[in-house]
Amino acid sequence: MVTYLIRRLLLMALTLFGISVLIFVLLRIVPGNIADILFDAAGMVSAAEKHKLEAELGLDKPIVVQYVDWIGGLARGDFGYTYVSERPALEEILPRIPVTAKLAALAVMFSVLLGVPLGVVSAVRQNTALDYVLRVASLSGLSLPSFWLGLLILMAFVQYAGWIPIYTEKPARLWDELALLSIPAAAAGLRSSALVMRLTRSSMLEVLRQDYVRTARAKGASPAAVNYDHALRNAMLPIITIIGIEAAFLVGGLIVTETVFNIPGVARFLVEAIRWRDYPVVQNLVMFIAIIVVSVNFLVDMAYAVLDPRIRYEE
Amino acid sequence: MAVAHEGGAFDLARNRAAGLSSSLAHFLRRYPLGAAGAAIVLAIVLMALLADWITVFDPTATDAHASLARPGGAHPLGADFMGRDMWSRIAFGARISLAVGVGATSLGCIIGVSIGLLSGYFGGWLDLVAQRFMDMLQALPLLVLALVMSAALGPSLENVILAISIPLVPTVARVIRSNTLMLREMPFVEAARAVGMNEISIALRHVLPNTLAPLTVLATAQLGSAILVEAALSFLGLGIPEPYPSWGRMLSESAAEYVRTAPWLVIYPGLAISLAVFGTNLLGDALRDIFDPRLRL
């Protein structure tokens, strides 16, 4: 277990190192350096100012030194400087994290509360009309773009409620904020819930085919006891991995949902930074997202290893 | 004799035709959802191919008089702020969606199959490096990687296809690799080696064709994702540039202000995206049941 843990940690570090190189290189294949882009965007022309900016950004140094400086800065929590608001990027990002975290937590809750029970029902009633309806529903859920769903929800509110659930200022009480966020969370979480439902169904079907389930049936256990006591308990384990899969899946939904509902979160900030071509910030935000996704997957793997006594990692 | 022979050939042809139509009937009966998906996909392909004939207006032609025209009359699905006909834009938008979807999926599959085949068949350090590289790509959410790539490459149709294809690579590479690992140990590979074929020919002529079934299933599923990612990129203003009529772009942020005043500008493009993706998803599910019931995505 300990060797497995160390191996996984090393792999995780390697992956993050690779991503940092990838992003660093990707943002440097753009023709013209960041100072050029900032100059275009800001409309400044003085060559002296440009050299000053290049020196400030370290663009005059060799590329390897630039990379080491960037990683060193990240490790110290230096997220760079946003050129749009002329403030340290961390000051912009930190207040946005709780908003996105709440939205993400609500979306995950929504997707699990809706997806797991429906997936179980669909598997238990395999090949019945109900199963068919649920499968078609989950497929259509996966086919809806989250941003369109968000727009449809806005439209329904305009039509029937007469107000728009858009985040204009932070509500004073936590409950009010959560209530306001629950609407976009449903828009972002619906696709995830369809994914959760499909994975739960297939995990449950796998378990229902096992010998011990047949044994339980043969000894005369009631269908409910077989389905929920024997099968679901064992099917829950693979369902945990879904949370890991969902982490990466949900980020895409959050990006467009925060944009549609005008929520001042981290995901929308990424889009804004990309649109403003604020590459130092983009680079840091993408690293931040990668660290979160990789850590969630690591934690899920660890939970799996601890919870499943059959798994012994001794290669 | 000659007559009997002709009759035999005739029977054969008739049987073949009967076989085809009966297997089609079988498919319809056994996989009604898959058949519905195939019909939706076919309808969208036809819409893209026949866009010039089934529309009246040029999708990029503006008309101040038709600005925000309600659906009905000359503009069956209404017109946008610049007076461009929605139906034309949706029909021509099918071309963009399919071009990006098919283009990105094919490119992603070609790269993914090459990596998966090489790393699965030859193994060793090549496999190790390829796998770590796939780990990296998979740790970045699809939309984030596509966003950063398309921002770095600049907005154009080709760049959007490239930006969407790369995030699709790891899944393909993983599936092809695990299939190749299994196929590598098969007796027919052993036999090919025994008759003196070189390793590259074995990989290409004996292993590769046997991975086509899972690849078909995977490619269909990825076609849906590619269409969705294109829509999201264009919606965020980082995808297909003007004047191409992209479904995602039609829903772009400015559409949020039409939620109140011109709902048809929001409903129809989103419906088009959802239907296209729903069709490919239905078809993909049926193909998965047919080709590889064990493959779980």
Per-residue pLDDT tens over the stretch A246-290: 777 788 889 999 988 888 889 888 988 888 777 778 888 898 888
- Mean pLDDT throughout A3-30? 86
Q: What is the pLDDT of residue A155?
A: 85
More confident residue, B238 or B104: B104
A255 and B139 within 8 Å at the Cβ level: the answer is no
Q: What is the pLDDT of residue B211?
A: 86
B33 and A275 within 8 Å at the Cβ level: the answer is no
Euclidean distance between CA atoms A56 and A73, whole angstroms = 14
Give the side-chain half-sphere CA count within 13 A for B137: 22
- Mean pLDDT throughout B46-73? 80
Per-residue pLDDT tens over the stretch A87-135: 787 888 888 888 999 999 999 889 889 998 999 899 888 888 998 899 8
A223 near B CB under 8 A: no
Q: What is the pLDDT of residue A313?
A: 55
B141 and A147 within 8 Å at the Cβ level: the answer is no
- Mean pLDDT throughout B34-38? 90
Indicate whether B116 pLDDT > 90.
Answer: yes
A290 near B CB under 8 A: yes
Kindly report the CA angle at B52 between B48 and B57, in degrees rounded to 5?
115
Percent of chain B with pLDDT over 70: 90
What mean pLDDT is reported for chain B? Answer: 83
At residue A147, what is the residue type? F
Q: What is the pLDDT of residue A221?
A: 80
Assigned token pair, B187: 């007796």
Nearest to A234 by CA among A196, A214, A211, A204: A204
Percent of chain A with pLDDT over 90: 9
Euclidean distance between CA atoms B278 and B266, whole angstroms = 18
Lowest mean pLDDT among A23-32, A70-79, B14-23, B188-197: B14-23
Which of A139, A281, A292 would best serve as a mutation to test chain B binding (most B beta carbons within 10 A)?
A139
Per-residue pLDDT tens over the stretch A196-233: 898 888 888 888 888 888 888 888 888 877 877 778 77
A270 and B147 within 8 Å at the Cβ level: the answer is yes
- Whole-angstrom CA distances from A79 to A51, A59, B231, B255 are 22, 16, 30, 33
Q: What is the pLDDT of residue A127?
A: 83
Q: What is the pLDDT of residue A33?
A: 57
- Mean pLDDT throughout A145-174? 80
Assembly ipTM: 0.85
Percent of chain A with pLDDT over 70: 88
Assigned token pair, A58: 């370290």
